[in-house]
Amino acid sequence: MLIFKNLNVLCFVLSLVAYSSSGLAQENTIVDPYHRDAGGYGYLIENNEQCAVWWAEGAYKVMRDTPVPEQDGDTIKIWSAQNEYESFLVVIKPNQRLENFRLTVSSLTNEDGSRVEAEQASIRKVDYVKVTKPTDEYSFKGWWPDPLPLHDEPATLFGAENQPFWVTIKTPEGTPAGTYHGSLQLSAEGWNLSIPVQLNVWDFTLPKITSMRSGFGLNMNTVKEYHQLTNPADSRQVFDRYMQAFKNYKIAPYNPFEFAPIKETVSGIFWQGGFYDSQEKYAGKYAFKVEDENRSEDAFAESDFIEVSRAKYELSWWTKTQEKEQQFCVKVACYNEEKKLLVYENRMDVFTGNEAWKAYSLNLGKMADEIRFVKVFLYPVFHSYTGEHTGVSWFDEVTLKDETQKNQLTAGNFEVDLDQINIELDFSDFDRAGERYLDEFGFNGFRLTLKGMGSGTYYDRTPGVFEGFEQGTEEYEKLMQRYLVQIEQYLEEKGWLGKEYIYWFDEPNAKDYPFVREGNEMIKKYAPKLTTFLTEHVEGQDLSDVTDISCTIWHKLDHEKARKLNERGLEYWTYLCCWPKSPWISEFIDHDAVNLRMWVWASWKFQFKGILIWSTNYWNSRSASPKGYLQNPWDEPMSFVTGYGWPQGKQTIWGNGDGRFFYPPNKQPNEKSKPWIAGPIPSLRLEILRDGLEDYDYLILLQNAIEKASGKDKELAKEAAQLLELPSSIITDEQTYSKNPKDMLTYRKKLAQYIELLGASPKKKGN
């Protein structure tokens, strides 16, 4: 907790310094979604006694009180590559209430009869969230646009305020280049309007797999809560719809294998739930350490099934406890021939331990006729319903003897032969999910979770454990080696090697780097082709010899480190979260519309290869919300701190929309309802981010065309190459960039024109 508070203080001080020196980064000290300095934006279609109708490119945050533009533009004009989504905004400002408002898009056709069908268009109503706690001093209170629910039923529009609609047209791969014409139909009671739409399709295609790599988190437990899912089949169906949303927005989820993990079967290990300890032991090589650190749930170790007869039995063992006169429990549970628990046949008692080894026993009596198997459970502390007790106990030389003194529990001495341990991996479910989400959907990365790896953040850490053997032991290393070799071999055979990234530690402080090095060194030692990954926020640290991807928070970039990684064929990613605030590029609802698009453009400028956001559905803080209450992201856009030692009820802000790029379809999550079998509601910020990802593909396509240019095209390629160096009018550094979307839109057209010229046939060039 002290570490977290110190980091918050440090970040706060840094943000104040940056804010006070941000004259170059932005002319305004307050965010300006109205673009007053540019004279506003948008194009007026119609303005009469009933309403004003105008449109703008899909790059703005239209506020409810954004002025109606003066510039005329009676035809909506957009430009798109093939396999690209391109959006525009249609804004209606009624002078009085409009009932039963509808908006539809026709198919679009060119002069040759080629069509972009109406089904390729989606229409979303721009909803607003009320910001009552601005993210920072750069922001302001008020209604900000962000949720984008589908416009699939008539709407009521209210007088004297803007109601935008976000219209997206996807140009399918294979659509012939040219100009396509269609219309947008608007109607309400006693009123209708037809607006011409012109789609200009460029003669090139964006790749199926997005060039910019990404990792975006999704918490399925949160999805289940808000969708009110209790059935596993429903959860799988909803998960797949979320994956389709990730696909549509060209971002890769952390874990597309949520319901299809690699299954491990480890034989030769009799005990689960504890640690083999070679330091604290009564006899032999190991004792079994059982630790309970959780005050709300009991921890325990358990044996495998032990076959018994109808004889009398006694369980004996040796125990040492962490504290003097520490209570602990031992239980023997009984099972029938089908290994079904016989609920009321437990044998259990409470014992008092000490800091020295001592012998104990539990008389089990004669086994009932239906008892065929038993299991031994070892509790390090007093076992209670609430689990409030904590502590550590060691167990050794456990025996289960019948009247003839025959020991039925030969594994009770905790001696393990590593040669007898076999690790079998079942990839069948993982295989099917990979073929759908990696091959079919085109996700360009996934977070690979490894059994046995440790975890941690700058706040705390947990060492790795593989089947009871702790990180740092010879046994742990040998078992991890057998496991990692199989993982690497499988991914290579499937052609997925390199898509994985092993993100097992988050944001280490300087003190954590030796621990992270130890983990990454082990991975590289036994599976050198697997991709190691680390999020970083501390300057001056370098694990690039054992880390393939360094992912740095945006306001702590290390450009020299990025350059060196690129030279070695490694990758440098960046991430956004609750930091940074203004003047840096950020992810917040109440900041500039260009930010997420500019994030990707800046990544091109600095040759960064990937982007990461920790969550897309952080809808609730268990620290900030009352127990049992779900924050409603439709009503409260602020993301509050959770975890890191924060007390229940403390409401500290992270930022509006931090970790929240989707909205739940259920707008009343605290009311009991039927399960919501539906996908998520996207955000305006996610739409703008996708545009940035597609822009990045333009830059890659142009770069490739320049490299392939020959003959007369070489002079043209020299001209085009200048476009790859983004000018200061677009971006200077990570906190100095244009806030006007027009600058990027104009530059994007230039990129497209040169891609066409360099990719065109000699006939098209007029040669």
pLDDT at 24 over 70: no
Q: 576: which residues sit within 8 A by CB, 6+ positions away?
A: 553, 554, 585, 586, 587, 599, 611, 613
In degrees rounded to 5, what are phi and psi of residue 37?
-65, -25
CATH H-level superfamily of 31-204: Immunoglobulins (2.60.40.10)
- Could you state, in order of their start, the residue ranges of all structural domains in the chain? 31-204, 213-264+422-688, 270-415, 692-765
Q: Give the residue carrying structure tokens 């770069």.
A: 703
pLDDT at 761: 38
pLDDT at 203 over 90: yes
- Residues pairing with 181 in the sheet: 109, 198
Averaged pLDDT of the chain: 94
Per-residue pLDDT of 237-283, as tens digits, reads 999 999 999 999 999 999 999 999 999 999 999 999 999 999 999 99
Per-residue pLDDT of 581-618, as tens digits, reads 999 999 999 999 999 999 999 999 999 999 999 999 99
Of residues 583, 534, 535, 533, the one with CA closest to residue 555: 583
pLDDT at 767 over 50: no
Indicate the SS3 state at residue 760. Answer: coil
Q: Which CATH fold would you assign to the domain 270-415?
A: Jelly Rolls (2.60.120)
Rounded CA-CA distance 392/299 in Å is 10
Residue 336 contacts residue 371 (beta carbons within 8 Å):
yes
pLDDT at 6: 40
CATH class of this structure's domain 213-264+422-688: alpha beta
Task: Using the CB atoms, write b or e for 261-277: b if 16+ within 10 Å.
Answer: ebeeebeebbbebbbbb
Q: How many whole angstroms from its chain centre is CA 730?
A: 28
Residue 317 contacts residue 332 (beta carbons within 8 Å):
no
Q: How confident is the model at residue 644 (pLDDT cuts 50, 70, 90)?
A: confident
Indicate the SS3 state at residue 739. Answer: coil
pLDDT at 121 over 50: yes
Rounded CA-CA distance 77/86 in Å is 11
Rounded CA-CA distance 277/193 in Å is 78
Residue 518 contacts residue 471 (beta carbons within 8 Å):
yes
Per-residue pLDDT of 302-315, as tens digits, reads 999 999 999 999 99
Per-residue pLDDT of 458-472, as tens digits, reads 989 999 999 999 999
Q: Are 31-204 and 270-415 the same fold in CATH?
A: no
Strands 446-447 vs 500-501: parallel, antiparallel or unpaired: parallel
pLDDT at 1 over 60: no
Per-residue pLDDT of 343-387, as tens digits, reads 999 999 999 999 999 999 999 999 999 999 999 999 999 999 999
Dihedral over alpha carbons 238, 241, 247, 253 (to 10 degrees): 0
Q: Which two tokens stand for residue 582?
A: 């203004």
Write out 356-414 in H/E/C secondary structure: CCEEEEEEEEECCCCCCEEEEEEECCCCCCCCCCCEEEEEEEEEEEECCCCECCHHHHC
- Give the whole-number percent of the chain exceeding pLDDT 70: 95
pLDDT at 201 over 60: yes
pLDDT at 21 over 60: no
pLDDT at 3 over 80: no
Rounded CA-CA distance 739/598 in Å is 9
Rounded CA-CA distance 300/377 in Å is 7
Q: How confident is the model at residue 765 (pLDDT cuts 50, 70, 90)?
A: very low
Q: What amino acid occupies position 115?
A: R
In degrees rounded to 5, what are phi and psi of residue 178?
145, -170
pLDDT at 694 over 80: yes
pLDDT at 28: 55
